Amino acid sequence: MPLKNDQYNQIIREYDSRRLINKHDLDNRRKEAYHLIPELMTLEEEMIAISVRSGRLALRGDDRDLNALKAKTEELKARQTALLRMNALPEDYLDMQFHCTKCKDTGYIGGEKCNCLRQAIADLMYSNSNIKSILANENFNNFSFRYYGDDYIDESTGLSPLSNMQKVVANCKSFVKHFNNKHDNLLLLGNTGVGKTFLANCIAKELLDKGNTVIYLTAFRLFDILEKYKFGKNEENSYAASNQFDYILDCDLLIIDDLGTEFYNSFTTSQLYLIINERLLRKKSTIISTNLSLPDINSTYSERVYSRIISLYLVQRIVGEDIRLHMAVNGLKPT
C-alpha cells in the first residue's frame, strides 16, 4: 500500500531540496575554481561546444567525426584533471556531488524506488525509533572490548568473555561484508547489558551506510504494530500500520530487539512465526536479540519458531557482566 500523498510529497520535497543544494554547491565550486584557474572555464566552454557538435553529428550518423570529437573531449578532460591536481583540488571538484550516487538524488532508478528512498519512507514511518541519532554513537568505531574479561572461562562458550566477544564481533562483521549475497540471519543471546543492542546497532550503521534499508524495532513495538494491523482495520491509525507491516516484511534488514520483554500470547507467537518465515521466503535478513535462552524460546514461542531460528539463524551467545551497571558503579563513560 502506498504512502498518503502528503507523506510522499514531504519526502519528494526533501529530494528536490537536496538537488537544489547540490546545484548551488557546484556553482560555488565552479566560481571558485574558475577564479583560481581561468583556463578551466575555457576548457569547459570547449567541451560544451563539442557536446553540441556531437549531438548534431549523431543525428546524421557520422561516426568518424564523432570518434574524433570524443577523443578531443577526453584530451580536454585530461587537461582539466591535471590542472585540478596541480592546484590541490579533487579530480571531481567540477562534477555534481550527490548524497546517493545510485539514483543521483532522484529517489528512483529506472522507475523503481532506490534504496535511499525506501529508507527515507521507512524513516518517516518509524520516526519515533530515533535510530539515526543512536547510531552516531553506537557503531563499530566506538565499540570497545574493555568491558569483557579475560580472567575466566565461561562454561556455555568454552571461551573467556573477551575471546568470545572477539569471535562474535568478527562474525558480525562477516555478516555485514556478505550481506547482499548470503542473506544470513543472527540471533544474539545474552543477559541484560552485555552489548546485544549495541552490536545490532553497529551492524545497522554499516548497512545503512552501504545503502541498505534497515528497520529497528523493540519486540514490544513490533507486536504493537502487528496488533494494530491485524485488529485495527477500522481505526484511524490502521493505514499507517498497514504501511509499516509491508516494510517490516520487505526491508533489507529487520532488527527485533529484546524479544521476550513483550506480553506474549498465542497472537505474538503466531505473528513472530509469520514475520520470521515470510522474511526467510523473501530472502530478507533478520537480527533478533533476546535475554531468553534457546530452551526458553522453544517453550515460549512454539516448536515452529524455534525450528526456524535454530536451523536458519547464526546463534551468537554473548557473555560477561552488565556493562551499564559496571559503568554506573565505577563512574565510567562510554568510549
Tell me the C-alpha distance between 55 and 251, whole Å: 42
Q: Which three cell numbers stand for residue 257?
A: 530487539
Residues of the chain with pLDDT > 70, as a percent, come to 89
pLDDT in tens, 80-109: 999 999 999 999 999 999 999 999 999 999
Q: What is the CATH number of domain 126-330?
A: 3.40.50.300
Beta bridge partners, 314, equal 186
Tell me the C-alpha distance between 76 and 85, whole Å: 14
pLDDT in tens, 38-55: 999 999 899 888 888 887
In b/e form, how buried is each residue of 314-329, taking b as 16+ CB within 10 angstroms?
eebbbbbeebeeeeee
Average pLDDT over residues 241-267: 87
Tell me the C-alpha distance between 218 and 48, whole Å: 54
Beta bridge partners, 11, equal none
pLDDT in tens, 197-229: 999 999 999 998 887 889 999 999 999 888 888
Q: Does the pTM of the predicted model rise above 0.75?
A: no
* Domain layout of the chain by residue ranges: 5-108, 126-330
Q: Name all contacts of 161-167 with Cβ < 8 Å and 24+ positions apart.
A: 161/319, 161/320, 161/321, 164/317, 164/318, 164/319, 165/195, 165/318, 165/320
In the predicted model, what is the mean pLDDT of the chain? 87
> Pick from 112, 121, 123, 117: which is nearest to 100 by CA?
117
Query: What CA dihedral angle connects 72, 75, 76 and 79, to 10 degrees?
Result: -170
Query: What CA dihedral angle connects 220, 314, 136 and 194, to 10 degrees?
Result: 70
